[in-house]
Amino acid sequence: MCDLLRGINLKNAAMAAKRTAQKNALRAKAKASRRGAKSARRTSPSKQKDLACPIVGVGGSAGGFEAAMELLRNLPSRTGMAFVIVQHLDPHHASRLSNLLGKVTAMPVSEVTQTTTPKPNTVYVQPPNKCVMAKDGTLRLVRREERLNVAIDHFFESLAEECGSRAIGIVLSGTGSDGTAGLRAIKAAGGLTFAQNQESAKFDGMPRSAIRSGFVDLVLTPREIAREIERVANHPYIRRPLSDPEEIEKAAYRQADDLGRIFLSLKKQMGVDFSAYKESTLIRRIQRRMALHRIEKISQYARFLCDNKKEIEALFDDLLINVTRFFRDEALFRALKKRFLPALLKNKSKDRQPELRAWVPGCASGEEVYSLAICILETLGSGPSKMRIQIFGTDLS
């Protein structure tokens, strides 16, 4: 009997040891998985953006060359930023832009080649008959459009997508409106935007268009813009931006009281409660405003915001900035056309008086409303239809 009990105990001990070993193996596997996840987060696209240097896009046309020289002349050589000069150049003549700009700055100046990795404290110049795009941590050359020259818009928009809050856009002297749409994209991505003031611009068409759009943060002379660039280069928003969700969550927890005061100021003046707003967007927008006002602590900004009507309105506009384009979420519209609209329209067509109503909340300037209308019409086809379509678009701003 004792031998039997001893055998049972040994068997139980062996099974317990096996279970312990399995648990330890699972713990080790989970730990390794967490390490792998952390490593993946460190090399994720958002982290790669943080590790890359901030990029300043400088766009100009007629009179923009002189303004760019004045800007570079007053910039320190070690801001930690890369500068990309995009000018409207004659496509049929070689450019001496890099040689001339190199005479007014201690930073190295070179033309962008087919694929260039931007380095801090370096100036890059767009070559003639080409457009520059920012993509995957590099500057790339693409073919210039013959009819409509919007090289500045194209570059600024790619810069916004590539660098996010570490993108800075500057529109200098020039005719037309190139650069305005690009500044909108940069501001929507959380970057900073500047325009040369009309008094100092040789041709004020481009700066005037940008200023009137409402997407310019600061309107200054080229010399004053240089001073602001030097200052914001060392601000935490540019130097060490928060992008990891865990970091943002921790920051929101630490600063809950200050965020509460900011919510209260917004609700008191604008009548909108942002307490349920997306935390990551909210904190980035607040930090953007802090960078513009030379404020580094959110507690200081909360005090600054209190009873400051102009700044409350500016923050409100920043939080509700219109970020939209036709078919913006391509995957969503593809699924809508392939999976949902055909079945929905088929069911509706069985009604005696077929009618389809749709509502697009937060429609900004209406691009998504038109995109939905196009999808519905394409799904209905070119044949006759009795379907009555109504689409409502609403937006708080």
Q: Which residues are catalytic?
A: 61, 88, 178
What the block records as the tokens of 45 is 């696209």
What the block records as the tokens of 19 is 């279970």
The residues, any chain, with a CB within 8 Å of residue 391's CB and separated by 6 or more, are 357, 358, 359, 360, 369, 372, 373, 376
Report which secondary-structure segment, H or E, holds 341. Answer: helix 341-348
Could you tell me whether strands 192-196 and 82-87 are parallel, antiparallel, or unpaired per DSSP bridges? unpaired
Residue 231 CA to residue 217 CA, distance in Å, equals 15
CA distances in angstroms from 102 to 8, 68, 111, listed in the order given:
86, 11, 11
Single out the residue of 162, 229, 164 nearest to residue 191, CA to CA: 164
Residue 140 CA to residue 112 CA, distance in Å, equals 7
Q: Give the DSSP letter string of 32-82.
A: HHHHHHHHHHHTSHHHHHHHSPPEEEEEE-TTHHHHHHHHHHTS-S-SS-E
Residue 389's DSSP bridge partners are: 356
